[in-house]
Structure 1
Amino acid sequence: MHTGVVFNIQKCSIHDGPGIRTLVFLKGCPLRCLWCSNPESQKVEPEIASLYKRCIGCRACEKICPQKAISYDNGKMLIDKKLCNNCNLCVDVCCTDSKQVMGKKMTVDEVLTEILKDRPFYKKLGGGVTFSGGEPLMQSNFLLEILKECKDFGINTSIETSGYGSYSVLEEASNYLDTIHFDIKHMNEIKHKELTGVSNKLISDNLIKLNNKLKERKIIVRIPVIPGYNDSEENIRLTAQFCTQLKAIKRMELLPYHNLGEHKYKSINRNYELGEVKAPDENYMKKLMNIAKNILYNKGIECLVLHS
């Protein structure tokens, strides 16, 4: 039985697949999107986050740290990530829970047990489990095993993926998936690399291959709309035109930018680069949606704005 690193299991989601969903967030992602709302998901291994507002300055963490990675400057706690080896001793002695471990190793059975607790809701309201991240494809063995287990229990399954990973894993996973949420960040390869750290060629290739393999419409393309970065009418138009070539796409969803994950960056000693960016105007989102709709309509592909 495989183990995976999970950083959150969220109940009762309504935006990540049909019906009421259980979201399982897996750690690890090869992309570094500037707007990432889950920066704690990017490294595969568990890591320590510091909730500074809870810290009372007792310095118990500093005293117990064997790596001397923790220090205080004018009463403010500092963690040197280069020295920290995630031994978690500081977490154990923290009396205010200002230190928390992001990510927990779990077996397939342990995660499945959590999923099955929500099975009565799936049966009554329609729903199932969605695997997100991070990038679920990075923990391929764990993902494939738990997808198979879920299908054995008759649970509706979905995945949220950047598409940046091994096609063979994506192809095998698709055999056990009812819905595939596939992100397209930008159609221009150079811009895509600037925004995410990687080229979009592998992503586009994987989406085309997956489309050719599928015999039904089970792909939902998602575009995070980031003002000033990928929200041009041209980019939305090019993305919609690309989608018209793919018979397995049933819907395009536009996700307006939000900064709800900004506070997480400070907790893991990282800077948030989009601090000045504001959520896109609602009327402009409708305009982008209508541009896409006019292109997608004749191909029977829906388009909507998905609000968080």
Structure 2
Amino acid sequence: MLDKHQTGIVFNIQKFSVHDGEGIRTLVFLKGCPLHCPWCSNPESQRREPERAYNPTRCLSAEVCGRCARACPTGAVRVVNGLICFDRSMCTGCNACVRACPTGAQTVYGESVSVDHILKRVEEDDVFYARSGGGLTLSGGEALAQPDFALALLREAKARRIHATIETCGHYPTDVLEEACRLLDALIFDVKCLDSERHKASTGVGNELILRNLHFVFEHFPDLPVLVRTPVIPGFNDTEEDILSIREMLPKRSTVRYEALTYHRMGQPKYGYLGRPYPLEGVKADEAFMTRLNAMLKAYQQ
């Protein structure tokens, strides 16, 4: 199969991003992830298959619309006391309600798309990439959890001279990462914690493979720009020792940068749309600690 015809499951294409690589970028979010972080801001990305979701804030109400309930053949979507209700246990995934909904309140996270379809969307903004040094960033989920699709995207992007970056958790076979690195212009690599037992307790996997893959990149691709990032999560890795130990592990070279990310809850509403509880309800970032931490990191880099 030609790379441009390869298909995969994508749940979002976000244009004009300025925080996920150099310049102005188009982010392509692939579904599926080997980690299950309770702080994940994209819960719709964790499972590989498409998922039904209901966003009541976009609903026109049963009184004004009600098309989804009338379209549903199983009664999974119905009107109860004047309100639209969605019973996941009765849903067969026919998506009749999604097609009937005029506002996107009833939706599906994830659809099968081709490499060519995605890159045509990306190329719509090539003038902005040329001016800003931007391009394509693959994210997720974990983009390399769909290795055939992600690598086909990278090969075709390279053929079209599109600057390509991946945001990755690093947990997959090293040969997949090696092939990706040969096609990438930059890499964004998450390191969450150096304590493997604590890492496994929170994410579902240990960190041995992740760290092994990171050091593989440092050894075999020394010229590849790498941004290592750590989300600082209250109660998990929010100590100076946790963060500075990661920073000290990294080689001191111009191609390697480090960033500590402040915990946020912007993805919390999506847990409700998916019918899941938010695991970190009530948890808030310590802004004062983050200010001190970033000052220490800045001093470390000087």
TM-score by length of 1: 0.89
- For 2:83 and 2:174, locate their aligned partners in 1 and report how far apart those are by CA, in whole Å: 46
Query: Which segment drifts farther, 82-91 or 109-118?
Result: 82-91
Q: Which residue of 1 aligns with 2:204?
A: 197
- For 1:78 and 1:32, locate their aligned partners in 2 and report how far apart those are by CA, in whole Å: 28
Q: Deviation per CA, 1:102-140, whole angstroms, max 9, x where unpaired?
A: 112111110010011111111122211100001001111
Judge conservation of contact 2:222–2:255 (CA < 8 Å) in 1. no
Q: Deviation per CA, 1:269-306, whole angstroms, max 9, x where unpaired?
A: 0000212111331x422322344455555xxxxxxxxx
After TM superposition, list the pairs within 5 Å mapping 1:92-111 onto structure 2. 92-111=99-118
- For 1:199 and 1:79, locate their aligned partners in 2 and report how far apart those are by CA, in whole Å: 36
Q: Which residue of 1 aligns with 2:20?
A: 16
1:280 is the counterpart of 2:286: yes
Paired AA for residue 195 in structure 1? S
After TM superposition, list the pairs within 5 Å mapping 1:100-139 onto structure 2. 100-139=107-146
Query: Which segment drifts farther, 104-113 or 199-208?
Result: 199-208
- For 1:248 and 1:159, locate their aligned partners in 2 and report how far apart those are by CA, in whole Å: 19
Q: How many correspondences in the alignment?
A: 295
Q: Secondary structure at the match of 2:146?
A: helix
Structure 1: gaps spanning 5 or more residues: 298-308
Compared CA separation, residues 288 and 141, structure 1 to 2 (3 A): same
Percent of paired sites with the same residue: 45
Aligned counterpart for 2:50 among listed residues 39, 46, 51? 46
Structure 2: gaps spanning 5 or more residues: none
What is the deviation of 1:90?
Answer: 1.3
Query: Which segment drifts farther, 198-207 or 56-65?
Result: 56-65
Judge conservation of contact 1:135–1:162 (CA < 8 Å) in 2. yes
Judge conservation of contact 2:6–2:152 (CA < 8 Å) in 1. yes
What is the deviation of 1:62?
Answer: 4.0
Q: Which residue of 2 aligns with 1:305?
A: none
Q: Which residue of 2 aligns with 1:257?
A: 263
What is the deviation of 1:54?
Answer: 3.1
CA RMSD of aligned residues (A): 2.0
What is the deviation of 1:45?
Answer: 1.6
What is the deviation of 1:69?
Answer: 3.2
Q: Which residue of 2 aligns with 1:289?
A: 294
Structure 1 stretches of at least 4 aligned residues deviating more than 3 Å after TM superposition: 58-83, 246-249, 290-297
Judge conservation of contact 1:51–1:98 (CA < 8 Å) in 2. yes
- For 2:173 and 2:92, locate their aligned partners in 1 and report how far apart those are by CA, in whole Å: 30
TM-score by length of 2: 0.90
What is the deviation of 1:80?
Answer: 3.7
Q: Which residue of 1 aligns with 2:38?
A: 34
Judge conservation of contact 1:5–1:106 (CA < 8 Å) in 2. yes
